[in-house]
Chain A
Amino acid sequence: MSKESSGISSRWVLLWVSCGLIFFFLLMPILIIVPMSFSPKRIIEFPPEGFSLKWYASYFANPQWIGSTLRSFRVAFGVSILSTILGVLSAFGLIRGRFAGKGFLMAFILSPLIVPVIIKAVSVYYFFNKLHLVGTEWGLILAHTASAIPYNVIIISSTLINFDEGLERASMNLGANRLRTFFHITLPLIRPGLISAGLFAFISSFDELIIAIFISGVKAVTLPKMMWDGIRFEINPTLTAISSILILLSTVLLLSSEYLRKGFTKKGGLELPR
């Protein structure tokens, strides 16, 4: 018996050690970038000697960096609003409807998921060229929204599927009309789904690079596109500062969306679709 239990515990040690190494591999880039952003030197070295905020200063002092950051915020905000509205409408139709051809229509709405982003980017680029939408923020919003709709339909549908329609009928029996029922009963109940869908669309658009490489042109350069150009054409430690800010932002968003979801659904669990 003692032999067997020591066998099991050595298995556990082995499992924890190997998982520890894999977690280290997963977290290493983040653990490297953040200290490097405080390095006073231009060359890459780790661990950095000395401490300086000059790369943060060079980011905040550069109107091009700030301009592209603000543009990414505007685009991501537009995508998150537009795709959540379209997503909630479709999710209602798909979950509540019992019409013929539903499977086909669902497949149609989810179809952008299966096409590699590079193909979506190039085909939309060709199309937008003729419509003079290349190099505009609207072009970016429209192209990103087409990619975001399927995810939002999936996220919102998973909220709707557990929704008790009896609550809506009760509200209407008590004299509320359809609109009032929607705003006072349905909307508060599906809010966690809407918030995670909106946040998810926001982050996806804010981080999106491949479509932006083609649609940004020279007039509507987003933050990821500007970073991409920076990585390819020069060694610029300002990128470590921007990366650290973005890592902080995504950590805050991840934890707050978790907090919101738990607060609303009381279900726990950390699985988020992406």
Chain B
Amino acid sequence: MRPTGVLLRFSLGQLLAGRRLLIVPLVALPLVLVAVFAAGADTDPTTFTLDLYRQFVLPVLLPVVSLVFSTSALGAELRDGTVTNILLKPLPRPAILGAKYLAAVLATLLVLLPAVVAAHLIVAGGLGSTDLLAGMVLASVVGALAYCALGMLLSLLMARAVLVGLVYALLWEGAVVSVAPSASSLSIRGYTEGVLAAVLSGGGVDFTVRLGPVSASVLAAVVTLAALGLAVLRLERMDIK
């Protein structure tokens, strides 16, 4: 296997090593339980799943899981010194960052997607609205890509990166944006909602969002690439302890 592939596999193993793998059922459990309850009651499966996703997964689960993984992917090794095992190798630093980033994104999706899909299947008693499923998956992927890029950049710049990232995700995206809607162009949650709405409006489910599909995807891409670019620059310039 090529060195970058080895690094990716190794990093993924580190993120989900040993007891950490418990995160997968731990996150899946509430979602699945919720779904079981909802399936028992008479709720409209589409509304329920949509609400569950928009009020729980998007604002809380997605940022928290993404930030936890992405700030540890490289940050932990930088802080405890083991990063030299990776840096002193014939791997260009952008490739190293890329492998770590991809590992964080994959770990996030591995934790979130099965749970979300399972919850949807349980509530809908079957495949249900495939638009909703597709929308949730796509929005989760976009969100994971963006939050993980942010987390990687923050972990290269400061010590308590996960907290700073959470303050952004929960305070800025939660409180500030509801007060000042124009700020939603700087909100990853805004982008994910925009993507979700875009997929769903095809199937007739509408809800108001502040960003149209084009702006949401473009902004998400810009923010993700900018964060990764800055992270690469930082990794190349920094002195390693």
A binds B: no
Point out residues on A near B: beta carbons under 8 Å: none
* Chain B residues with a Cβ under 8 A of chain A: none
